[in-house]
Amino acid sequence: MTPAEQQSLLAYLKIQKIPYSHSTPRSFTSSINQNDHDLVVALNDPNQLTDLIKHINTINPSLSVTAIGGGRDDTNNSYSLNNLWKDTDIFIQLAYQPSLTLLPKENNNAEQLFRVSPNMMLVELNQALYDRGYHCPHLYGVLPFMSLAGGLSTNSHTTFGFLADIVEGIELLLPNGEKKYFKKDSEDFNVNCVTASLGLLGIITAIDIKVLTGKKKLKRVHSLLTYENLVNKIQGTEKDGAHLNSLSVIFSPIKLQANTSTKLTTWSWVDEATPDQGNPEPQIADDSISVTCCAPFFAIFRPTFLYCFFQSAAVTKQETQIARPDAIMGPESKIAGNITAIELLFDYDKTKIKDFFMYLLSILSNARKTGDFPVNTAVFIRFPQQSAGNHQVAIDFISFGLHLTKIEPLVNELIDYLNNQSIPAHVHYGKNNAISINSRYATSENSWQKLKMKYQQFYERHGLNSDVLRKKIAGLESPDQPKAVQVTQAVSDDYQRLRM
């Protein structure tokens, strides 16, 4: 944006009394470069949005505008780890109070439609539904402060399934200021919600979702089992009546062997009247000083200690019923520091899953032997179900303080393995470096090349200015790596000790 264009826009914002600041979106992590020359416009009134976008078009129709999803007030503005923001001229923060409106009921008595504002965070949505006597399995087992629009725009999933699968339609404000409604199953709906649209196609202004009637509590049962037994359980899940999409698994990859303890959480909805058992507790981490300061410190300088702590504190056996949905997810989002996470996604295949997990075990153990250990914190696995009924395997590799380039080869190796087994794999676009990794797997339906084609077709269908898309894509493809603390000598020393 030229200085003259910026002056013209600022004059408009002042007249309309729309607050703005010169900064980048604040990030959940420090992976997004902060500066004081980008323009963030905070909209406190949703009714001002269309006129604002139209006005920007009168200044210069090639300016690129991107919505920021999560966070209002003092919470984080963005939950994403990737450099999603480069080459954006104007960021729009949807700072107004989110709303949830009942829509006319469908024939099916077990279901209800609601219209949700895009900036409502999943944790707020869970609570608001509960307060009105509804629940929605698709919203649990995920980090809490992502907005519904941010989650949809990155094609996010939870433990249960993909957020897109509860959506019946979205209202989108196109980059030219025109508002359109896209119904489920249409081509325009799919490119916005079923694939990651990353804020490239416009600003989602309303989301219609389908939820279940009944005020329910969420019950989670933690059990400990060895890695080997866990793999057997995953393979034989349907036999014992459990469903893959009710499971989440977490373990420390450090010192991983077939007999290492892993923690399996099984989730189910119980009737509101069921007496409480146990206390609500955070899932993996909390916002105490031990997590925000001590854990990152130990992850970088003494990973062996973190491993011991993780095994004794996080991998423990408990049964919990969570009385109120605002406690479902805990305050994990406050985890500070240089967290890096790459998520690998692929189709669940019962006949091949055991071999995959044994291969994972072998390469994690091998990484330990070579001292080149890419994941110092946790491996987190879920099996979200897709609308077609089949499951995905979603594996997060989570590290504190390690540079992304350490995790990327590990994920690449796994993708190669899966491709050799004829299982298409890709990396979740909401997380670190996904575009660069996916762009190397151009044959898959979820490849970056394929997505780019779909975005271009969307722009053509709606007669939009393709310069805007080109500019945004160039930003996303920029080779800049997010910053992360370099592995220090102390880490290498600790890894040497691990090898012994």
Ligand X SMILES: Cc1cc2nc3c(=O)[nH]c(=O)nc-3n(C[C@H](O)[C@H](O)[C@H](O)COP(=O)(O)OP(=O)(O)OC[C@H]3O[C@@H](n4cnc5c(N)ncnc54)[C@H](O)[C@@H]3O)c2cc1C
User: Which parts of this chain interact with ligand X (CB under 6 A)?
Assistant: 28, 66-70, 78-81, 84, 94, 118, 142-143, 146-147, 149-151, 153-154, 156-157, 198-199, 203-204, 339, 341, 430-431
Residue 7 three-state SS = helix
Identify the H or E element spanning 263.
strand 261-271
**Min separation Cβ 70 and ligand X, Å:** 3
**Min separation Cβ 202 and ligand X, Å:** 7
Residue 184 three-state SS = coil
- Shorter beta-carbon distance to ligand X: residue 142 or 473: 142
- Shorter beta-carbon distance to ligand X: residue 86 or 431: 431
- Shorter beta-carbon distance to ligand X: residue 199 or 482: 199
Taking a C-beta distance cutoff of 8 angstroms, is the pair 189, 244 a contact? no
Q: Taking the CB of residue 22, how many other CB atoms lie within 10 A of it? A: 12
Angle between helices 404-420 and 353-370 (to 10 degrees): 140
- Shorter beta-carbon distance to ligand X: residue 145 or 441: 145
- Shorter beta-carbon distance to ligand X: residue 328 or 339: 339
Contacts of 63 (CB under 8 A, 6+ apart): 1, 5, 56, 57, 89, 90, 468
Residue 375 three-state SS = coil
- Shorter beta-carbon distance to ligand X: residue 240 or 480: 480
DSSP conformation letters of 415-455: HHHHHHTT--EEE-TTSTTHHHHHTT-TTSTT-HHHHHHHH
With tokens 């890709």, the residue in question is: 426
**Min separation Cβ 82 and ligand X, Å:** 8
- Shorter beta-carbon distance to ligand X: residue 137 or 151: 151
**Min separation Cβ 172 and ligand X, Å:** 8
Residue 364 CA to residue 347 CA, distance in Å, equals 21
With tokens 């009168």, the residue in question is: 58
| H helix intervals, 26-173 | 49-59, 122-132, 148-153
**Min separation Cβ 143 and ligand X, Å:** 4
- Shorter beta-carbon distance to ligand X: residue 7 or 478: 478
**Min separation Cβ 182 and ligand X, Å:** 12
- Shorter beta-carbon distance to ligand X: residue 368 or 427: 427
**Min separation Cβ 162 and ligand X, Å:** 8
**Neighbouring C-alpha atoms within 13 Å toward the C-beta of 20:** 23
Q: Taking the CB of residue 146, how many other CB atoms lie within 10 A of it? A: 28
- Shorter beta-carbon distance to ligand X: residue 82 or 311: 82
Closest by CA to 385, choosing from 140, 160, 138, 165, is: 160
Strands 111-116 and 90-94 turn out to be unpaired
**Min separation Cβ 158 and ligand X, Å:** 6
CA angle at 75 for the pair 407 and 179, rounded to the nearest 5°: 90
Angle between helices 3-16 and 49-59 (to 10 degrees): 150
Q: Taking the CB of residue 359, how many other CB atoms lie within 10 A of it? A: 15
- Shorter beta-carbon distance to ligand X: residue 368 or 392: 392
**Min separation Cβ 265 and ligand X, Å:** 13
- Is the CA virtual torsion 46, 431, 476, 443 positive or negative? negative
Closest by CA to 202, choosing from 232, 178, 235, 168, is: 178
**Min separation Cβ 157 and ligand X, Å:** 5
Fill in the DSSP letter of residue 136.
Answer: -
- Shorter beta-carbon distance to ligand X: residue 201 or 315: 201
**Min separation Cβ 156 and ligand X, Å:** 3
Q: What's the N-to-C CA distance of the chain in angstroms?
A: 56
With tokens 């200085």, the residue in question is: 3
**Min separation Cβ 342 and ligand X, Å:** 11
Residue 203 CA to residue 93 CA, distance in Å, equals 11
Contacts of 459 (CB under 8 A, 6+ apart): 201, 465, 466, 468, 469
